[in-house]
Amino acid sequence: MATDEEALAAEWESVGDDSEPSAGQVSEPVLNQAEINSLLGVDDDDEGVITGMQAIVDSAMVSYERLPMLEIVFDRLLRMMSTSLRNLTSDNVEVSLDSITSIRFGDYLETIPMPAMISVFKAEEWDNYGLMIVDSALIYSIVDVLLGGRRGTAAMRIEGRPYTTIERNLVERMVTVVLSDLSAAFDPLSPVTFRFDRLETNPRFATIARPANAAVLARLRIDMEDRGGRIELMLPYATLEPVRELLLQMFMGEKFGRDSIWETHLANELWNTDVELDAVLDQVVVSLSEVMNWRPGSQILLNAVPSSPIGLRCGEIPLFVGGMGQKNGNMAIKINKKLRKM
């Protein structure tokens, strides 16, 4: 027995000896530090350039920050939806924004539970489509409220069954109201009409963009006392492309509200601006050859006399006409006529 154990130990020892480098060999790592940094995309030499695995990771992410104006649009939508849904349900409705994120269209479709209420709508002026997904909790809550359910009792939910025609029609009413508010929310930015197109229950039939395309996903929370649920708005970037330049702005200016303090300050500063006025007695047209022959002492004949009218202009804009005179020992011009309304 001891002999077998000694033989086994000797065998393991020989394996360990074989793994060690011989005297004539130098042990080197498979990758040096520079190669590892390049692989991970943290190479210091590439300033501002994302490479390697970092580029692969970032390719699966889409930056929503490129469209900051969407926050203002959805903020307007929340206020309008709160009023519209109160009128629709005759109940106390509170609408809040959970998040605005960016996601790949195909990745999002895989997360939609079945059966689902997926409303496909069209942006008429932009000639493209979007999705509105209503979760089951809100579906049963809306059906319960619109059919006269009592307050203080949770809506009965039967998961897993197909939605009935009555449920689909009631949800379509709510979707139409939300789309009308969404159109009004975009109106100060760019007039657009969001028209309800169809209602799908299978995500595969609601494919309005390529799976790899990026889209903006806004999650809205709707609370009706002890009932409520979520609405998710999916707008592909291709749909928003016609107003992309407008969505890149940080603020809208007058269309979203005027800043009277800034306007007053700007007006006061403009009144204190220094401008340069030119008094023009006459203008003549001469050839370039004559100009080249001018020397100190050359005389230029003008078609004007001391009593001729003098034009006052700022740059190329004529402002006044006056007469030349003298005041306090200085040349002066008396304004006789205003040429522009100021």
Q: Structural domains in the chain?
A: 31-60 (no CATH), 64-256 (3.40.1550.10), 274-293+300-338 (2.30.330.10)
Q: What angle do CA 155, 160, 164 make, to 5 degrees?
A: 70
pLDDT given for residue 33 in this prediction: 72
Mean pLDDT of 68-87: 86
pLDDT given for residue 1 in this prediction: 55
Distance CA 42, CA 260 (A): 48
Average pLDDT, the chain: 78
Between the ranges 32-41, 42-51, 212-221, 248-257, where is the mean pLDDT highest?
Answer: 212-221
**For a pLDDT cut of 70, what percent of the chain falls above it?**
74
Mean pLDDT of 203-227: 85
Neighbours of 212 (CB within 10 A): 10
The tally of CA atoms less than 13 A away on the side-chain side of residue 216 is 24
The tally of CA atoms less than 13 A away on the side-chain side of residue 306 is 4
Distance CA 189, CA 210 (A): 27
pLDDT given for residue 65 in this prediction: 46
pLDDT band at 215 (very low <50, low <70, confident <90, very high): confident
Tell me the two tokens of residue 191.
Answer: 């007039």
pLDDT band at 292 (very low <50, low <70, confident <90, very high): very high
Strand partners, 236: 215
pLDDT band at 288 (very low <50, low <70, confident <90, very high): very high
pLDDT in tens, 272-285: 888 888 888 888 88
Q: Residue 158 pLDDT more than 80? A: no
Positive or negative torsion for Cα 70, 73, 74, 75: positive
Choice between 186 and 44, residue whose per-residue pLDDT is larger: 186
Sequence-distant (6+) residues with CB within 8 A of 247 are 67, 68, 69, 70, 189, 240
